[in-house]
Structure formats: structure tokens, C-alpha cells
Amino acid sequence: MQDDQTTIEVQRRIDEAIRLTAPGTALRHALDMVLAGHMGALICVGDEENVIKAGNDGFPLNISFTANRLFELSKMDGAIVIDGKLNQILRANYHLNPDPTLPTSETGMRHRTAARMSLLTDATVISVSERRQVIHFFVNGHGVQLKTVQELMGSVNQLVVAMQSTRQTLDQRLRRLTTLELENQVTLADLTEIFYLFEVLTTAGEELGKIEEQLGSEGRTVQMQREEFLGDLDDEYTLMIRDYASDSSEQNAAEIRRALDDTANYQVHKAAYLAHLLGYDDSREDTVMTPLGLRTLSNVSVVREGMADKIVDEYGSLQDLIDVIDENPERLEETGVRNPSILADSLYRMWGKHS
């Protein structure tokens, strides 16, 4: 448990460091100027008391932080110490002396010092390599290389193409699934393919979200692209899980979502594994799966929020609902459906039949 908490805390600090150094921030502007000037730099941000204890000499400054000041001070040797809120530059040309026995796999004096200082203190330590012209930050010994906007946008373009293709395929499969549901011909193999596509798109969306954070102020367009592809994906995915899980409760659906998120995508593509997650251990690819109908009903305009659950509770499944519609659609008024004929017509249109 302690290891898990440490990992979560380190990741939180890494995420914060990414935001701190993202394009558009004053700190990133200074770092880009250092690179453009073909200089190196060693910068400690935060935990200033322990950072200062680990060094000596240098110049006490206590001046307001600005990108230009940081750039000018980088022309001197030694480290620059900044408070955690980026309000003040506290020291310049500061000579850091971290414990040389602290483990690091980094090469180069500046990177080794940065890695060890991040182990010795809770500071975010930034190292700009003069020779390699790259920027790394270190948190708890973990080094992360900052990518340029051009590099990040290259990754964005690849992900956007993949997400567009996956979303189109998923939408096609979902339309076909609706028809199969109304005909009671859904198999476990059909579900496996769709769950796999959901996970591929979700994973790509998460990767795009990480790049969006790294892009900082340059990431607004990426955010809009991500929202366009994901849209109402989250709600539809959850409803589909509830449709086919042996336990259709929202709590169980959330647990299945977490399990799917923690599973490699190739594993989700295995029918037996998916059946196990849904609560069935004796199903094969050709097993017919009967849905509750929550996803399909939620796509009908006259079914108001919360109404799909009431209809399913009353009639048990989508197939039972179809039987009621065939016999006497007016019975739906008993569950609060104001326009049962419109609901019937909508389902028939999805089915490709006439009422």
C-alpha cells in the first residue's frame, strides 16, 4: 500500500512539473531561450530550504521571478534556486553538493546532479543540456525529457488519424449492434469487437490528453479534437456494460470499467476474458447475449433521462419491450412514456422495419 501511495504521489508531482514547464508558461519561455542561446542550466524549483542546505556559495538574490531574469542568470555557472510558486529567484550561481552515493543512471555532471537533488529533496530539478540541446526535469529520481511543440504535434497528428478511424468503425459497429439487439441476435463475438474498439479509443484519448497537458497553451485545438472524437463515449460505454453484465448496477459497471482500463487492449479482444468480466464463465463466442436495452433506449428522443431504467425495470429486457410494443404500445404509458407511439416508431426505424 505504501508503494502504491508513493507511486501516486510521484506521478502527481510529475504531472505538476509538466504543467509548470508547458509551452506558454514563463518558465518554459525561459528554458526555450536557454536552448536558443546554446547554453546549459540547472534549476531547482520548490523545497528551497532543503535545496539551499545541499549547496553553498553563489549569490543570494530574492528577486521577483521573470523569464528574462532566469535566462540572464543561466549565463553563469552553478544552479538557480526558485521558490515553489515561481514568485522569487532565491539563489544564482549556487554550487550544489548532493550525496554522491545516491543512485542514478544519468550520464553527464549536470543531469547526475539534477537526479540526485530530486532524490535528496522534494524539488523539481530541471537540467538543460548545452551539448545535446534537450531539457529534462527530475522528480524523485525520475527523469522526463520535455519535447518540443513540433515533436508533440507530430504525435498528435498520428493519434488524431487513429482516433478518427477507430471512432468511425465503432459508430458503424454500434449501429449494427442496435439492429442485432432488436433481432435478438447479438453474440459474445459481436460484443468483444465493440468493447475492444471502445478501449482502443479510450486509450488513444488518454494519450492525447497527456500530450494536451504537455502542450500547455498550445493545446486548445487538441482539446477540441479530443472532445470531438470522445463525445458521449463515456456514457454510452457505461450503458453498454450495464446492458450485458450479469449485474447491471451502476456500481458494478464502474468496477468493470476500472478493470477494463487496467487491462491491456489485446486482452479485451479475447471473448472468454470479456465474458468473465461481465460475470459469465461458461460463454463461447457464438453465445447469444440478450441486452437490457438501456443504450438503445437512451438514443430515443422521447425517453427522458432516467426513463430507460424504469422501462427496463418494468419489462426486463429490450426483447420483452418489443413484444409489448407489438401487442399494445399504449401500455408504455404506465411507465411514464408520454408518446409510446413515437417510441415504437423510433425502435422500428432503428430495426429497419415499419410499425
Question: What does the pLDDT look like over 327-345, one tens digit per residue?
Answer: 666 666 666 666 666 666 7
Comparing 156-160, 182-186, 335-339, which segment has the lowest mean pLDDT? 335-339
- Using one digit for the tens of pLDDT, what is the confidence trace for 89-115? 999 999 999 988 998 888 888 899 999
Q: Is the pLDDT of residue 205 over 70?
A: yes
* CA–CA dist 340, 329 (Å, integer): 6
Q: How far apart are the first and last CA of the chain?
A: 58
* CA–CA dist 182, 159 (Å, integer): 34
Which residue, chain included where needed, has cell 415499419?
Answer: 354
Go through 138-157 and write b for each residue having 16 or more CB atoms within 10 A of its CB, e for each that does not. Answer: bbbbebeebbebeebbeebe
Residue 304: CA count within 13 A, CB half-sphere: 5
Q: What is the pLDDT of residue 334?
A: 65
At 43 the three-state DSSP class reads: strand
Q: Which three cell numbers stand for residue 306?
A: 432516467
Which carries the bigger pLDDT value, residue 301 or residue 252? 252
* CA–CA dist 166, 155 (Å, integer): 17
Comparing 77-81, 124-128, 218-222, 335-339, which segment has the lowest mean pLDDT? 335-339
Q: What is the pLDDT of residue 350?
A: 65
Which carries the bigger pLDDT value, residue 51 or residue 231? 51
pTM of the model: 0.79
- Contact between 188 and 271 under an 8 Å Cβ cutoff? The reply is yes
What is the DSSP secondary structure assignment for residue 219, as one 8-state letter?
Answer: G
- Contact between 46 and 123 under an 8 Å Cβ cutoff? The reply is yes
Q: Is the pLDDT of residue 354 over 60?
A: no
- Contact between 194 and 239 under an 8 Å Cβ cutoff? The reply is no
Q: Which three cell numbers stand for residue 54?
A: 545541499
Q: What is the pLDDT of residue 88?
A: 95
Q: What is the mean pLDDT of residues 32-46?
A: 93
Q: What's the whole-number average pLDDT of the chain?
A: 87
Q: What is the pLDDT of residue 341?
A: 66
Q: What is the pLDDT of residue 355?
A: 47
Alpha helices in 143-287 (DSSP H): 149-182, 188-215, 220-230, 233-244, 250-261, 265-268, 271-278
Q: Kindly report the number of other CB atoms within 10 A of residue 125's CB atom.
A: 32
- Contact between 138 and 115 under an 8 Å Cβ cutoff? The reply is yes
Cα distances from 191 to residues 50, 244, 288, 298, in angstroms, run 55, 9, 10, 18
Comparing 30-34, 71-75, 294-298, 334-338, which segment has the lowest mean pLDDT? 334-338
* CA–CA dist 226, 159 (Å, integer): 10
* Pairing mode of beta strands 79-82, 88-96: antiparallel
Closest CA to 311 of 345, 348, 338: 338
Q: What is the pLDDT of residue 89?
A: 95
Which carries the bigger pLDDT value, residue 231 or residue 316? 231
Going by C-beta distance under 8 Å and a sequence separation of 6 or more, which residues neighbour residue 237? 198, 202, 257
Q: What is the pLDDT of residue 130?
A: 84
Q: What is the pLDDT of residue 280?
A: 92
* Residue 239 exposed, middle or buried by CB count within 10 Å (0-12, 13-18, 19+): buried
- Contact between 67 and 27 under an 8 Å Cβ cutoff? The reply is yes
Which residue, chain included where needed, has cell 544519468?
Answer: 106
Which carries the bigger pLDDT value, residue 281 or residue 204? 204
